[in-house]
Amino acid sequence: MNDEPQKPVTPSTEQPCACQGGDVPPKKTRRDFLFIVGLVLNVIAGAAMGIPLLGYVLSAFFKPATLDWVSLGAVDSFPEGETRFASFKNPVRREWDGATADIPCWVRRISGNDFQVFAINCAHLGCPVRWFQESKLFMCPCHGGIYYEDGERAAGPPPRGLYKYELKVANNELMIKAGLMPTLATPNV
Amino acid sequence: MNPVLKKAADAAQGVFLWADDRMHLTKLWESTAGHHVPKSAGSWFYVFGSATLVCFMVQLVTGIMLALVYVPSAAEAYQTLEYLTYQQDLGWFLRAVHYWGSDFMVGIMILHMTQVYLFGAYKYPREITWLSGLVLMVLTLGLAFTGQVMRFDEDAYWGLGIGAAIVGRVPFIGEQAVQMMLGGQIIASETLSRFFALHVFVLPGAVLAFVSLHLRMVLTKGINEYPQPGMLVRRETYDKEYAAIIKREGVPFFPKAISKDLVAASVVILGILACAVIFGPKGPSGPPDPTQIDTIPRPDFWFLWIFAIAALMPPEIETVALLVGPVIIGIILVALPFVNGTGEKSWRRRPVAVIIVLLTYTALGMLTYLGHASPWSPVMNAWSSATTPSAQILNRSPLELQGSVVLQLMQCRNCHAIDDIGGERGPSLSDVGTRLTKPQLVRQVVQGGGNMPAFGQSLNPYQLEAIVDYMATLRPPGIPAARDSTIPAVPDHKKKAATDS
């Protein structure tokens, strides 16, 4: 196949490797061409495989959070001037979620249809805050975050007050917009 | 020799020679298990690496066993954990071995890292060994954290909540990062599936890959010789010196240097088994039902120090510390073999290294203890269950006694102890009467401050007077009440008597 005469060995520094030892200098062959073709094809195949995989794993980056209105029960099940525990089924859920689809929250009925609904998660690191009716304080069992009855930060490490749900009263039912675990990145659930 | 036996032996030898010819077993053996190590490396200090690997093997085997029964579904995981613990034959034992194996693995890995640091084994030319070890450390901690989630109980649920809250502090992409971590918008089925995939496929696979690299590096660049004070590492000469050591006193790892590793391996396995049998598996605690908020979430032992840091950090720098701190630690650890790659290896001539190790152990130990004790957490049921010692109600007026009841009902003791009973978030009230005057007590209770909420809104004037009167009586015997510096310390009649004389 290779009929080309061998080039003389020269001490030239231009091509030191190819020339030393009298090797045949590299020549483009069909094998080399096929190697390039193979590389390019595999880059294409890799992209065709990898992009959907990345899309599957990173879908959260492209999809806006979906929230939905859920009912917490009749307005009158919450006495005026008091704060009560409530829970709801997460609007975005799977059949195999089990108990994790039940999300708790604190409902404060100030008067009439004037409500505040607080997320259970402490604004510090997400532990469940507990309401103490006598001192009118929320306390967190993890690092001692304390909040007043209106959700404002009272003491401890939380950088802000309790997260609040958007709410409305419809057909005499208290509705909140839910579906997202609140964190400092998404404080307005 | 019995001719039958001789024939059998010949046949066996033939089979072996055939296999050796096809697979080059002898060569493989000589270049791996038989590679030469400095005689000095056969030391008790050098057993921690192989001991960590032994723990990993235990985890692989027991993990596969547990996966035969465990169902990684948010709805069913807890049930299968209970089944494993209480019904499946020896299920409790497998869970316990896997749990203790994990604790041993992290602990021995830390000892291994300490030894490598103190013996200068990360120095030239073993940078890659150190770096692959760092990756293995991250993977091991990742396995420990994701394993905690596999035990899908209330601690796992709220532990994920803490993780999400930390990730939610990432600037710009916090929301997406949280959803990425949780596999959705809340902690639910896909969260558990995600952590299961990490714990069972991704992380163990990565550990196997990096253990291969780690061991390959041990073969390529050799195990660190036992460092002698005064023998300095120089890039120009070290390789020759090491070759000379191997030539002078090299012994094959198997069977000459492996004996202590073998003993250590058995001690570790027996230790894991003993802990498993004596202490049993951890949990599961309450079910992963977020509406059961009567819970006190705590991470597993090796993460308690992070839990403590989260409580003790000033809130202003917390986000920066949680997100930038690990990066800084990572940069220091990665840079170590390049910045400090030559010179003295022996810890006897590296006082700074010794101090760093002592400080790190002290700090992590203290933080772990604090994370365990959690003095910053309110004792959620102290207000309803803590007793008042009789000395603290004896000879009090009815109003003061009312005050002690108000103090109890207002949940004060969730954060304040009386005679060591109650929370430790705030100062003990046993001697509060010696520290604050009545007007100061009124101000503190009404306005709060110094990390105490204000009670002005929740106390009526009568309750306020009662609680302050009571607290003013809380003094150890013989110690006078606190007094205002603007009010004379000595009663007037005594002063008068003094001037008269």
User: In chain A, what is the greatest distance between 2 CA atoms, to the nearest angstrom?
Assistant: 102
The DSSP code sequence of B257-294 is I-HHHHHHHHHHHHHHHHHHHHH------S-S-TT---
Predicted confidence band of residue B152 (pLDDT cuts 50, 70, 90) = very high
Average pLDDT over residues B233-246: 94
Alpha helices (H) along B374-397: 382-385
How much is the ipTM here? 0.87
Helical H runs in B124-171? 127-150, 154-167
- pLDDT tens for chain A, 189 residues long, are 445 555 555 555 555 554 455 566 777 889 999 999 999 999 999 999 999 999 988 887 777 788 999 999 999 999 999 999 999 999 988 899 999 999 999 999 999 999 999 999 999 999 999 999 999 999 999 999 999 999 999 999 999 999 999 999 999 999 999 999 999 988 876
Tally of CB atoms within 10 A around B57: 13
Which superfamily does CATH assign the domain made up of B42-373 to?
A: Cytochrome Bc1 Complex; Chain C (1.20.810.10)
**Predicted confidence band at B494 (pLDDT cuts at 50, 70, 90)?**
low
Q: Give me the pLDDT at residue A27, please.
A: 79
Tell me the C-alpha distance between B160 and A153, whole Å. 23
Contacts 24+ apart (CB under 8 A), B228-231: B228/B346, B229/B344, B229/B346, B229/B348, B229/B349, B230/B344, B230/B346, B230/B349, B231/B345, B231/B346
Which letter does DSSP use for residue B237 in this model?
A: T
A46 CB near a chain B CB, below 8 Å?
A: no
On chain B, the residues whose CB falls within 8 A of the CB of A142 are: 158, 162, 296-297, 307, 310-311, 377
Query: Which of left, alpha, beta for B98 (phi over 0: left; psi -120 to 50: alpha)?
Result: alpha
Does B49 score more than 60 pLDDT? yes
Query: Which residue(s) pair with B251 in the sheet?
Result: B37
- B474 in Cβ contact with B422 (< 8 Å): no
Average pLDDT over residues B2-11: 92
**What is residue A1's three-state secondary structure?**
coil
Contact (Cβ atoms closer than 8 angstroms) between residue B430 and residue B417: yes
Tens of pLDDT, residue by residue over B435-446, are 999 999 999 999
Q: Is the pLDDT of residue B175 over 50?
A: yes
Tell me which chain A residues have a C-beta less than 8 angstroms from the C-beta of B185.
Answer: 65-66, 92, 179-181
At B498 the pLDDT is 57
Chain-centre distance of CA B123, in angstroms?
Answer: 27
At residue A18, the pLDDT reads 46
Q: Where are the domains of chain B?
A: 42-373, 382-472
Alpha helices (H) along B348-483: 351-373, 382-385, 398-409, 412-415, 432-435, 438-447, 461-472
Mean of all residue pLDDT scores within chain A:
87
pLDDT band at B106 (very low <50, low <70, confident <90, very high): very high
- Ordered by start, the domain boundaries in chain A are 16-60, 68-178
Chain A interface, best mutation among B182, B186, B323, by max A CB count within 10 A: B186
A137 touches chain B (CB under 8 A): yes
Closest Cβ opposite residue B453 in set A94, A128, A146: A146
Grade residue B387 by pLDDT with cuts at 50, 70 and 90.
very high
Give the pLDDT mean for B130-146.
Answer: 98
CB within 8 Å: A144 and B74? no
CA distances to A152, B199, B204, B224 from B151, in Å: 34, 12, 17, 39
- The predicted pLDDT at position B95 comes to 97
Q: Any idea what DSSP says for residue B418?
A: B
Residues 415-444 of chain B whose Cβ lies under 8 A from any Cβ of chain A: 415, 425
By C-alpha distance, which of B305, B270, B300 is closest to B284? B300
Q: Within an 8 Å CB–CB cutoff, is residue A55 touching chain B?
A: no
Q: Cβ of A110 under 8 Å from any chain B Cβ?
A: no
| Architecture of the domain made up of B382-472 | Orthogonal Bundle (1.10)
CA B325 distance to own-chain centroid: 16
Q: What residues contact residue A19 under an 8 Å CB cut-off, 6+ apart?
A: A7, A9, A10, A12, A25
The rounded mean pLDDT for chain B is 93
Q: Does the pLDDT at position B284 exceed 90? A: yes
Exposed/middle/buried for residue B15 (C-beta within 10 Å: 0-12, 13-18, 19+): exposed
Confidence of residue B501 (pLDDT cuts 50, 70, 90): low
C-alpha torsion B222→B226→B230→B235, nearest 10: 10
Residue-level pLDDT at B215: 96
Listed range (A129-138, B2-11, B383-392, B483-492) with the worst mean pLDDT: B483-492
Confidence at residue B488, expressed as pLDDT on a 0 to 100 scale: 66
Report the distance separating Cα B211 and Cα B195, nearest Å. 22
Q: What is the mean pLDDT of residues B381-395?
A: 91
- How crowded is the C-beta side of B497, counted as CA atoms within 13 Å? 5
pLDDT surpasses 90 at B497: no
Start-end of H helices in B287-314: 304-312
Neighbours of A10 (CB within 10 A): 9
Q: What does the pLDDT look like over B448-489, one tens digit per residue?
A: 988 899 998 899 999 999 999 999 999 998 888 888 877 766
End-to-end CA separation in angstroms for chain A: 73
pLDDT, position A58: 85
List B residues 280-309 in contact with A (Cβ-Cβ < 8 A).
287-291, 293-297, 307
End-to-end CA distance of chain B: 122
How much is the pLDDT for A1? 43
Interface test with A, best of B82, B173, B178, B413 (most A CBs within 10 A): B178
Domain A68-178 has CATH 3.40.50.2300: no
CB half-sphere exposure, B443, CA atoms < 13 A: 7
The pLDDT of residue B246 is above 60: yes
Q: Say if A188 is an interface residue toward chain B (CB within 8 Å).
A: no
Which residue is associated with the tokens 């790190």? B360
CB A167 within 8 A of CB A175: yes
